[in-house]
Amino acid sequence: MKSAGIERIVFLQDDVFSLQKCHEYYDGLAKFLMETDIAMINLEYGCSHFSGLNIIESHNQFNAYGARATDFSKTLWGMDDGPYCANLDFLLTTVYSARYFSAGDIWTAEEILRDECVEKNILRCVLDRPSFRRVNIVGPNSQNKESEELFLRDNFDFSVLNTRQTVASPPAIHC
């Protein structure tokens, strides 16, 4: 990726859903993420989840707050596989260590990731409001399955899944 000139990535797994209903929000978010020099921005939690954070950068409607791994570790994991945008060099030199990549299973790797990031107290900035949410409804480790399914039904139109047609693009969302 670096040889292709890619300096930043947005990391989203297959269980991540958007929270904001306006395309304009995500257009603005993309612009902010392309213009910022902040090493890592968590896209799952907003500043209201934390206390005492200061704005470290502001562009248009977006404010980035200086959260660190230890701020997260008070109620969450200091680092996890939630959605984020980050500088590739920061990820390769600071976040993901050789121990992480040599772990024998994902459970051990995630614990190493969490522990090392809290020890280094990495910067994991947050924005004013969350942009994405992980929804865990599949598999033996799913929790709160009923409330997660309710969230999906209340916020997304799955009627296109009941047809056998291929949908070229999602239906427009009106603000």
Instruction: Give the model's pLDDT for residue 171.
Output: 46
As a whole number of angstroms, the distance between CA 38 and CA 87 comes to 8
What letter represents residue 94's amino acid?
T
pLDDT band at residue 104, thresholds of 50, 70 and 90?
A: very high
Q: Is the pLDDT of residue 175 over 70?
A: no
If 0-12 CB within 10 Å is exposed, 13-18 middle and 19+ buried, where does residue 131 land? buried
36, 58 contact by CB (below 8 A): no
As a whole number of angstroms, the distance between CA 8 and CA 33 comes to 9
- Looking up tokens 């040889």 gives 3
pLDDT band at residue 39, thresholds of 50, 70 and 90?
A: very high
Average pLDDT, the chain: 87
- Looking up tokens 């399955």 gives 145
Q: Is the pLDDT of residue 170 over 70?
A: no
Q: Has residue 168 been placed in a domain?
A: no
Q: Has residue 167 been placed in a domain?
A: no
More confident of the two residues 92 and 22 = 92
Q: Is the pLDDT of residue 111 over 90?
A: yes
Q: Is the pLDDT of residue 168 over 50?
A: no
Q: Is the pLDDT of residue 121 over 70?
A: yes
Domains contained in the chain, number: 1
Q: Has residue 140 been placed in a domain?
A: yes
Q: Has residue 65 been placed in a domain?
A: yes
pLDDT band at residue 64, thresholds of 50, 70 and 90?
A: very high
Q: Has residue 104 been placed in a domain?
A: yes
Q: Is the pLDDT of residue 60 over 90?
A: no
Q: Has residue 170 been placed in a domain?
A: no
Instruction: Give the model's pLDDT for residue 129.
Output: 94
Q: Has residue 93 been placed in a domain?
A: yes
- What would the mean pLDDT of 5-28 be, rounded to a whole number? 90
pLDDT band at residue 37, thresholds of 50, 70 and 90?
A: very high
Question: Out of 4-8, 51-55, 146-150, which region has the weakest mean confidence (pLDDT)?
Answer: 146-150
Range of the domain at 154: 2-162
- What would the mean pLDDT of 48-52 be, rounded to a whole number? 94
Q: Has residue 173 been placed in a domain?
A: no
Q: Can you give the pTM of this predicted structure? A: 0.82
